[in-house]
Homo-oligomer: A and B are copies of this chain.
Amino acid sequence: MTNIRSRFNKPADRLAAQYTASLPFDKRLYRQDIKGSIAHARMLAKQGIISSEDARKIVEGLKAIKKEIEQGKFEFKIETEDIHMAIESRLVELIGEAGRKLHTARSRNDQVVLDMRLYTKEAIEHTINRIRELQRVLLDVAEANVKVILPGYTHLQVAQPVLFAHHLLAYFEMLERDTARFSDCLKRTDVMPLGSGALAGVTYDIDREFLAKELGFSKASQNSMDAVADRDFVIEYIAAAAICMMHLSRLAEEIVIWSTAEFGFIELDDAYATGSSIMPQKKNPDVAELARGKTGRIYGHLTAMLTVMKGLPLAYNRDLQEDKEALFGTVDTLLATMEVFAGMVRTFKVKSDNMLAGAGRGYILATDLADYLVKKGEAFRTAHETVGKLVSYAAGKGKKLAELDIKEYQRFSKLFNADVKKITPESAIAARNVSGGTAPAQVKRALTRARRQV
Contact, CB under 8 Å: B275 / A371 = no
> Residue-by-residue, is A320-338 near B (CB-CB < 8 Å gives 1, otherwise 0)?
1110011000000000110
User: Given A104-B374, A199-B152, A435 and B392 touching (CB < 8 A)?
Assistant: no
**Residues of chain A in range 246-263 having any CB-CB distance to chain B below 8 Å:** 246, 249-250, 252-254, 256-257, 259-263
In the complex, the answer to whether B249 meets A384 with C-beta atoms within 8 Å is no
Known: A277-B85, A277-B103. A343 touches B13 (CB 8 A): yes
Is A7 within 8 A of B271, CB to CB?
no
Which chain A residues in 303-343 approach chain B with CB under 8 Å?
303-322, 325-326, 336-337, 339-340, 343
A77-102 residues at the B interface, CB under 8 angstroms:
84-85, 88, 92, 97-102
Is residue A381 contacting chain B, with contact meaning CB distance below 8 A? yes
User: CB-CB < 8 A to A300: which residues of B?
Assistant: 300-305, 307, 326
A277–B318 touching, CB < 8 Å? no
Most buried by B among A6, A161, A336, A343: A6
Distance to closest chain B CB from A289 (angstroms): 4
Chain B residues with CB below 8 A from A303, complex form: 296, 299-300, 302-303
- Give the residue of B12, B236, B279, B362 whose beta carbon is less than 8 angstroms from that of A198: B279
A204 vs B232: C-alpha distance when bound (angstroms): 46
A224 pairs with B273, CB closer than 8 A: no
Chain B residues lying within 8 Å of A289, measured Cβ to Cβ, are 155, 317-319
State which of A26-34, A60-68, A120-128, A174-182 sits at the interface with chain B.
Answer: A174-182
A322 and B297 contact, CB distance less than 8 A? yes
**B432, A201: Cβ atoms closer than 8 Å:** yes
Q: Is A56 an interface residue (CB 8 A)?
A: no
In contact, B384 and A343 (Cβ under 8 angstroms) = no
Q: Which of B5, B102, B321 meets A293, CB within 8 Å?
A: B321
Q: Does A367 count as interface, using CB distance less than 8 angstroms?
A: yes
A438 within 8 A of partner (CB): yes
Among listed A105-113, A129-137, A402-410, A413-421, interface-contacting one: A105-113
Q: How far is the CA of A312 from the CA of B388 in the complex (A)?
A: 27
- The answer to whether A226 and B106 have CB atoms under 8 Å apart is no
CB distance from A154 to the nearest CB of B (A): 4
Instruction: With A254-B313, A297-B322, A316-B154 as known contacts, state yes or no: A6 contacts B304, CB within 8 Å.
Output: no
Q: Which residues of B contact A363 (CB under 8 A)?
A: 280-281
Q: Which of B155, B275, B385 is the one whose CB lies under 8 Å from A388?
A: B275
> Taking the complex as formed, is A36 at the interface, i.e. its CB lies under 8 A from any CB of chain B?
no
A379 at the interface (CB under 8 A from B): yes
Say yes or no for A230: interface residue by CB 8 A criterion.
Answer: yes
User: Looking at the complex, which one of B92, B196, B314 makes contact with A381 (CB distance below 8 Å)?
Assistant: B92
